[in-house]
Structure 1
Amino acid sequence: MNPLLGAEQAVLGSVLLDPGQLSHLDWLAPDHFYRPVHQALFAALRKLRNDGHPALAAEKSVPLSWVTDAVEEASLHVRGLTAAYAHTLISACPRPAHAPVYGRMVLEGAIHRTITEHAIRLHQAARADALQGEVEGALHYANVLTGALSDLARRWGTEPRPVAPATPPATTPATRPPVRTDQVAEDERFLLAVLAERPGAMDEVVGWLRPGDFADPAHGQLYRCLGALHHRGEPIDRITLLWEAQRRGLLADGTLSSDQLTAICDGVGPGSAEWLGEQVMRSSVTRTAATSAHAIRALAENETLAPGQLINHALHALGPLDEVRTRWQTANGRPAPTLPAPAPSPNGPPPAQVHAALARSTPRPVSSPSARPGSAPSPAAVRPPSRGHG
């Protein structure tokens, strides 16, 4: 049996056997279940609990109406659910008192699945933006992914913080989003020509444009040479640029040739360094978003990663995109939007996180049937044929 399917069935079976278990699963949501029929049934059970179903006041055995009413309510939202399947779920539950642990397994599967889905959406948005020469879609879905990671961290009971993996995951090479290759290369060459031939042009872009923003590594190295000349306060022209490239070994190792550099500098015409730099930044944003999405998806598909590790590693993988986004906002004269994040308490994690962590990790001791209304039936009572329902 698939472990996740078994966990989902065990959670539902425990609640069907003992409605009181719902009070220990407040951190679990219907959409954390993978199967739609399980989502509908868990939502129905919570609705019956909120509506004050008589089964909650049962002193001994749980009335059969708890099962039948739950199936009836869930059937309003999903097809294929029968009372027979509800009893299959009951049979799949070894111990109702272990519901919080089963729920933890469901939540763990949901965390991996949710992060994978958001990473796919981010990658798709980056591809679409790259084709259209935009960045808004990728940045929007990056914000959505960051918010989802914070919410999952809260439910899991951990403090969200970027943490680099001890060992980078083994992944296939990231597929770069489709871009208007010719247009991007032309923008980069034109920008470099303007920066090499126009005094003061570097001042327009040096504060936010970086060598890594260039799609062509050779163009990035040439921009690094321009930045070095500007930093040292030396004059910039095609001769000093060629000399700097030679000093850095770019001509010797084949990264650049003197003919390539001459061709770039000869292509100068009227143009704004700031505007051209923004075009280069657009391409950089979408490429970085695609790379981050690819890395996060690879992490989420690694089932051996604990949820807390996965969340923190995913936040770390978003770091390069956050850095590029900040510089993009600077280039456009707008401050980068900041997502509200809870400040860490000096005395430890917030109480809600502690409660979530304990609730999902600590099984509730099995109590006797007479201990409280709605308590879990004894082991004998939870076995076929009645499964504790009278």
Structure 2
Amino acid sequence: MTPLVHAEQAVLGAIFLKPGQLDQLSPWLRPEHFSRPAHTAIYAAMLKLKADGHPATATTAGAPVPLAWLTDTLREASMRTRGLTASHLHTLVSACPRPDHAPVYGRMVLEGAIHRSVAKHAARLHQAALDDGRAGTVEETLHHAQVLADVLADLARGWGAEARSVEPPVAYAPRAERPQPVGEQVLADEEFLLGCLASRPEQLLGLVRWLRPGDFSDPGHQQIYRALGALHHRGEPIDQLTVLWEVQRRGSLADGTLDAERVRRVCDPLVGLAAEHFGEQVVQASLVRTAALAAQQVGALASRDALAPGQLIGYALHALGPLDEVRHRLRLAHEAEPEPQRPASRPGAPPPAARIDAARARSRLAATSAPSTAVTTSCAALPDRHNHRSPS
């Protein structure tokens, strides 16, 4: 028998011995906080009798408790569940170490209820994320994520704690969980999105506020999106070769994350569709994956009996932080108005002089604060690269 079951027996036994303690317990201890149906029925019966003005609940300290309190509770509880006997109630009485400690025993019961409630709603969120992942939707995930957040806030109020995010210590830090399986449609949407951006880079302006590299499920797609963003941010041309070169500079070819053929295929210039739709699909899939991971982490925290309710609630809210961030960006994606598109550069048009200077500056060696005479003389002997013209 677990300590929690002992605590449930003790608080019920204490109420049988001193019914007046219901005045201290009834404002915050509810029948659903008990883990066993029989205990739930007995406590609900006690509250019903108290509400009906049973004489035993008005018994003063030291006065004998009438036998009717036991028999009436048994009769009322038997209407809510089956199998209760008088001997069962006597077992509860004998399980109470100290009747005066009923509020402490009740607090133990409430702690167990908080852990169970968090675990239950985390499991529901995880299942909703799995279902939405297969269906390509996000509605159930968003609903259960909000329910879990509301439950945590309600539990914090019931416990008397502040509902705020608290980063857990290393001992309670969430462990890396196995990622949710990614469907072929998600990978196809990511490739289409990258192809759209490679063909029409000006569309990045409308996506960078709410689309992040981490939203892509495939590591290779993350690196291509980073390369596209870097090239666009620097104002450099974007095509299959420039993206491939940027990916290579970032080490993604060397570590095997990508290969040249795959980069060229993803950045197919024939793809010219609007990117907003595929961007929203990618963020939606990211939200579902993030929700599944957060639900696993919250469930793992709820299984730790050593965590006090205030700690559990704070750590659980911290685990939901990344999900809130993705949910916020998804709202931005739905609310965003199309950005005005820049006119595309004419094929074959020379790049602006400022772009040429910027590209060359990144390749120049930084000048030292006090160059030596030998270096100065050597540099002076070289032709001015800006005035040099290659033969036609």
User: Which structure is larger by alpha-carbon Rg, 1 or 2?
Assistant: 2
Partner in structure 2 of residue 17 of structure 1: 17
Q: What letter is aligned with 2:168? A: P
Q: After the TM superposition, which parts of structure 1 deviate over 6 Å for at least 4 consecutive aligned residues?
A: none
Deviation per CA, 1:253-311, whole angstroms, max 9, x where unpaired? 22222111111122743422000111111210110000000100111111111111111
* CA distance in 1 between partners of 2:97 and 2:168 (Å): 36
Counterpart secondary structure, 2:304: coil
> 1:140 Cα deviation (Å)?
0.6
| Structure 2, gaps ≥5 residues long | 337-392
Task: Evaluate the alpha carbon distance shift between residue 112 and residue 57 of structure 1 in structure 2; reply closer, same or farther with a 3 A threshold.
Answer: closer
Equivalent residue for 1:272, pick from 267, 270, 274: 274
Query: Any idea what SS the aligned residue of 1:266 has?
Result: coil
Map of 1:56 onto structure 2? 57
Matching residue's letter, 1:233: G
Is the contact between residue 18 and residue 62 of structure 1 (CA under 8 Å) also seen in structure 2? Answer: yes
| Residues 141-290 of structure 1 aligned to structure 2 (within 5 Å) | 141-167=144-170, 169=172, 173-179=176-182, 181-266=183-268, 268-290=270-292
Residue pair 1:190, 1:267 contacting (<8 A) in 2 also: no
Equivalent-residue separation in structure 2 for 1:51 and 1:212 (angstroms): 59
1:237 maps to a residue whose letter is D
**1:138 maps to 2:141:** yes
How far apart are the structure 1 equivalents of 2:239 and 2:50? 76
Which residue of structure 2 aligns with residue 314 of structure 1? Answer: 316
Report the number of matched residues: 333
Rounded Cα–Cα distance in structure 1 between residues aligned with 2:71 and 2:212: 64
Q: Is the 8 A contact 2:290 2:322 kept in 1?
A: yes
- Tell me the alpha carbon deviations over residues 74-101 of structure 1, each in whole angstroms, 9 at most, x when there is no partner: 1111111122111111111111110111
- Residue aligning to 1:114: 117
Task: Kindly provide the CA deviation profile for residues 319-352 of structure 1, in whole angstroms up to 9, marking residues without a partner as x.
Answer: 0000000011111118xxxxxxxxxxxxxxxxxx
Question: 1:117: Cα distance to partner?
Answer: 0.7
* Superposition deviation, residue 172 in structure 1: 6.4
TM-score w.r.t. length of structure 2: 0.82
Give the match's secondary structure for 1:255: coil
Contact 2:198–2:269, Cα closer than 8 Å, also in 1 = no
What is the aligned-residue RMSD (CA, Å)?
A: 1.6
1:2 matches 2:5: no
The 10-residue stretch of structure 1 (265-274 or 132-141) with the greater mean CA deviation from structure 2 = 265-274
Structure having greater relative contact order (Cα 8 Å, sep ≥ 6): 1
2:335 aligned counterpart, secondary structure: coil
Matched with 2:99 is 96
1:170 deviation in Å? 7.0
Task: Specify the code of the residue in structure 2 equivalent to 1:109.
Answer: G
Write the letter of the residue equivalent to 1:7.
Answer: A
- Assess, with a 3 A threshold, how the Cα gap between structure 1 residues 55 and 225 changes in structure 2: closer, same or farther: same
Structure 1 residues 188 and 168, CA gap change in structure 2 (3 angstroms): farther
Secondary structure of 2:288 counterpart:
helix
Shift of 1:231: 2.4
Matches within 5 A, 1:330-369: 330-333=332-335
Shift, 1:194, TM fit:
0.8
Q: Deviations over 1:109-130 (max 9, x none)?
A: 1111111111100000000000
Whether the 8 Å CA contact 1:169–1:298 is kept in 2: the answer is no
Moved more, 162-171 or 298-307: 162-171
SS of the equivalent of 1:292 reads: helix
Q: CA deviation at 1:171?
A: 6.4
Cα distance in 2, alignment partners of residues 218 and 144 from structure 1? 35
Q: Which position in structure 2 is the counterpart of 1:73?
A: 76
Identity percentage over the alignment? Answer: 58
Confirm or deny: 8 A CA contact 1:30 1:39 kept in the other structure.
yes
> Can you list the C-alpha shifts for 1:26-78, whole angstroms capped at 9, x where unaligned?
21111110001111111111111111111123341111111111111111111
Equivalent AA in structure 2 for residue 48 of structure 1: L
Q: How big is the shift at 1:4?
A: 0.6
What TM-score do the two structures reach when normalised by structure 1? 0.82
Matches of 1:79 and 1:271 in 2, distance apart?
65
Residue type matched to 1:16 in 2?
A: F
Letter in 2 for 1:277: G
Counterpart CA distance in 2 for 1:171 and 1:270 is 41
Q: Distance in 1 between matches of 2:29 and 2:68?
A: 24
SS at match of 1:192: helix
Letter in 2 for 1:296: V
The one-letter code sitting in structure 2 at the alignment partner of 1:134 is T
Give distance in 1, aligned partners of 2:92 and 2:48. 19
Question: What letter corresponds to residue 31 of structure 1 in structure 2?
Answer: E
Cα displacement (A) at 1:174? 2.4
Report the AA paired with residue 189 of structure 1. E
Q: Does structure 2 retain, via aligned residues, the 8 Å contact 1:7–1:106?
A: yes
CA contact (8 A) 1:126 1:177 kept: no
CA distance in 1, matches of 2:314, 2:248: 42
